[in-house]
Amino acid sequence: MATPSNTSTESFDSLYRECARDMYAYVRTLLGDDASAEDVTALAFERAYRRRATFDGRRGSERGWLFGIARNAALDELRRRKRSAPLLGELPDEAARAPEEEADLAIRRTTVRVALAALDPRDRELVALKFHGGLSNAELGVVLGTTESNAGTRVHRAVSKLREACHAPS
Amino acid sequence: MRHRDPLTDEQRDELDALDRAIAGEPVQFDRRELEELVLDVRATAPEMSPAFAARLDQEVREGFPTPQERPPVSVRRPWLSRPWMLLPAAGSLAAVLVALVVVFGGTGDNGLRDKSGNQLDTLGGEAAIPTDGGGPDVDSSGSGGASSSAGGVSADRKAAARAPSAASVPPSDPQAKPAPPSSTAIAPARTRRVERNAVLALRTPDADFERTTDAVIATVARFGGVVASSQIGASDAVGGEASFDLRIPTERLDTALAALSKLGHVTERSQSLQDITASFHSAQERLSDARAERRGLLRTLARATTQAQIDSIKAQLRSVSGRIAGANGELSSLRRRADLSRVDLTVRGGGRNGESGGAGGGDWTPGDAAGDALRVLEVLAGVALVSLAVLAPLALLGAAVALGVRGGRRRRRESALDPA
């Protein structure tokens, strides 16, 4: 295989800067701990870097392709650990980290975290891909291996469950 | 599983508002709750530690210079871990092999092949099978003259002129060697008797048609054979067609066929062999028995004393004589079949000049080249067709396997998201 050109290297660098934090947030949400999230994020970028010559723009965006790689790596890690990751279980308390925020805002975000944690892992992943990854429904379809319409339906269902969980009496 | 799950208009509006909120764009007033949800969820997004961010920045900047223990993807050989990826290549190879066997497999035996590619059955060593040395003992009552068809304008006249009778085949070629005369002696027992037949079809240019049919007759005579019957038709519109029923001395059949094959483009040539040894010896034994019986009856007749005895023995002698005559006739017929091979020869006019054989000249002309090129294209098309016939099912199978493997891998991965 030919050595990647400078142009593709520059393009990858741009993609990295655009997606790195979102990808980490998604992977961290999926795996539930910082160390694994860092390993998987680094592994996903390395895989993407080495496979960047195989990217086919006709099959979707670079962002969707990158998140597909990250998803596979994260799911492989989850399978390896034989457990489903608790969502945000190790996250620092929002209210404690931002004491300057108003109390009702802190309470609301804590409610959101709890609601997220209560979601089914598949729905939680969808929320992470949508909210943290910022993927369009078409990109989601590529990542999940389904159609754009089906991806939209699943996202809508997951968001509806999240909203219900946020409004549920604690 | 992929399936259509149509969204309602309300759901589409909500998804549009969600996308706008995620993109940081303003949303409608009644969707503000959704916008707040996006802000709250994104506010809970985990963030990289500065140390990890710096390390990752550096790795990307340096192009991941220290790959982990596995080799880089660019030099990996994925088929080692995923052998099913070799299925299309293996299918292609198998298809090509099958196509080659189909196209060229028929030429792999030891038989001769004439210039048009027709198989010649040389019959192995059967040509050397001993015969009783009998010559062309042809029954002139059945094949003494040409039986002409009404195929052409002057067919009757030509046929009559060209088809010599079996009894009057003149050696037109001074080098021709008439077959030795037939022997009526009974061959030694257990000598193998074989009847050989051949079919030969020639194509010749219209201009050479008459010359070719003349050459056929001359060639047959040169090898001591006879034309048992012939039908020759000629027409300016469709070209001529002649069929010959030939008898060729078996011992000279191969050389005669070779000579006949040079008279035109061979479009068909085949030979068959039938062992008639059993029939021959059966007839021999019946003849021997009948003769012995007749000798016994003659001896009895010499000792007969009464008229009644004499009459009875004479009646038996007549019966035995009839059996002897029948056995003799059968033996003669079998001997003719063994000594003379039957050749069905067809000559058709209308062939292109380039297809002409010896009668039309042996130069390799542009017509020959065009014919050869066409043949090559036909073979290539055949190979492609056979390859396609083999590859199509393999491709479908490979695609199904690939889809199954891919789907299975995806399901296994996503099973990690199932609650423990």
Parse chain A into domains and list their residue ranges.
6-167
CB–CB of A122 and B417 under 8 A?
Answer: yes
Instruction: Report the SS3 class of residue A114.
Output: helix
Specify the pLDDT at position A40: 94
| B359 φ, ψ (degrees, to nearest 5) | -70, -25
Q: Which residues of chain B have pLDDT under 70?
A: 1-5, 66-85, 87-88, 102-190, 234-239, 351-363, 420
Task: With respect to residue B240, please indicate whether it lies within any of the assigned structural domains.
Answer: yes
Decide if the complex's ipTM is over 0.85: no
Burial of residue B318, with CB atoms counted within 10 A of its CB: 0-12 exposed, 13-18 middle, 19 or more buried: exposed
Residue B238 contacts A, CB cutoff 8 Å: no
Q: Do A131 and B419 touch (CB under 8 A)?
A: no
Query: Which chain B residues have a beta carbon less than 8 Å from that of A79?
Result: 412-413, 415-416
In chain B, which among 46-105 make CB contacts under 8 A with chain A? 46-49, 52-53, 55-56, 59-61, 63-64, 67-68, 72-75
Answer yes or no: is B101 within a domain.
no
At residue B235, the pLDDT reads 63
- Of B371, B353, B343, B362, nearest in space to B204 by CA: B353
Collect all residues of chain A within an 8 Å Cβ-Cβ radius of residue B419. 84, 120-121
Same domain, B139 and B252: yes
The arrangement of strands across the sheet holding B265-275 comes to B226-233, B241-249, B340-348, B194-203, B265-275
| Phi, psi dihedrals of residue A66, rounded to the nearest 5° | -65, -45
pLDDT for res B400: 95
Query: Per-residue pLDDT tens for A106-129?
Result: 888 888 888 988 888 899 999 999
Q: Which candidate, A64, A98, A70, A77, places its Cα nearest to that of A32?
A: A77
Question: Hey, is A78 helix, strand or coil?
Answer: helix
Whole-number pLDDT of residue B24: 86
Size of interface A-B (CB pairs under 8 A): 153
**In Å, what is the CA distance from B80 to each residue of B84, B86, B164, B398?**
9, 9, 76, 17
- Confirm or reject contact between B9 and chain A (CB < 8 A): no
Query: Tokens at residue B156, please?
Result: 């009757």
B48 located within any domain: no
Residues B191 and B241 in one domain: yes
Say if residue A70's pLDDT is above 80: yes
Residues B135 and B224 in one domain: yes
**pLDDT given at position B383:** 94
Among partner residues B5, B44, B410, which is closest to A150 by beta-carbon distance? Answer: B5
d(CA A69, CA A60): 13
Q: Tell whether B272 and B220 lie within a shared domain.
A: yes
The answer to whether residue B160 sits within a structural domain is: yes
B44 CB near a chain A CB, below 8 Å?
Answer: yes
Lookup result for tokens 């027992």: B189
Is the per-residue pLDDT at A49 higher than 80? yes
Scanning B114-133 for CB atoms below 8 A from A yields none
Tell which of A40, A153, A154 to mutate to test the B interface (max B CBs under 10 Å): A153
The confidence score (pLDDT) of residue A82 equals 63
For residue A37, the model assigns a pLDDT of 93
Q: Which residues of B381-411 are buried (b: 16+ CB within 10 A; e: fewer)?
A: eebeebbeebbeebbeebeeeeeeeeeeeee
Same domain, B163 and B136: yes
Q: How far is CA A95 from the centre of its chain?
A: 23
pLDDT at B296: 93
Indicate the DSSP class of residue A101: S
What's the average model confidence in pLDDT over A64-91?
76
What residues of chain A lie within 8 A of the CB of B60, using their CB?
12-13, 16, 45, 49
Q: With contacts defined as CB-CB under 8 Å, which chain A residues touch B38?
A: 131
Handedness of CA B25, B29, B31, B35 (dihedral sign): positive
What is the predicted pLDDT for the residue at A17?
92
CB-nearest to B5 from A83, A145, A149 is: A149
Whether residue B219 lies inside any domain: the answer is yes
pLDDT for residue B249: 92
Q: What is the number of structural domains in chain B?
A: 3
Substitution target in B60, B69, B77, B415 with the highest count of A β-carbons within 10 Å is: B60
Tell me the C-alpha to C-alpha distance, in Å, between residue A54 and each of A2, A7, A76, A108, B37.
11, 15, 21, 44, 37
**Residue B300 sits in which domain range?**
283-330
B303 and B227 share one domain: no
The pLDDT of residue A146 is above 80: yes
Checking if the pLDDT of A93 tops 60, the result is: no
B83 inside domain: no
Which position has the higher pLDDT, A81 or B228?
B228
One domain for residues B189 and B130: yes
Query: How far is A139 from chain B, CA to nearest CA, in Å?
Result: 12
Q: Summarize the confidence of residues A85-97 as an average pLDDT.
A: 48
Report the b/e string of B24-55 with b at 16+ CB within 10 A: eeebeeebeebbebbbbbbebbbebeeebbee
- The answer to whether residues B315 and B221 belong to one domain is no
Residue B152 is predicted with a pLDDT of: 38
Block residue for tokens 């002649």: B242
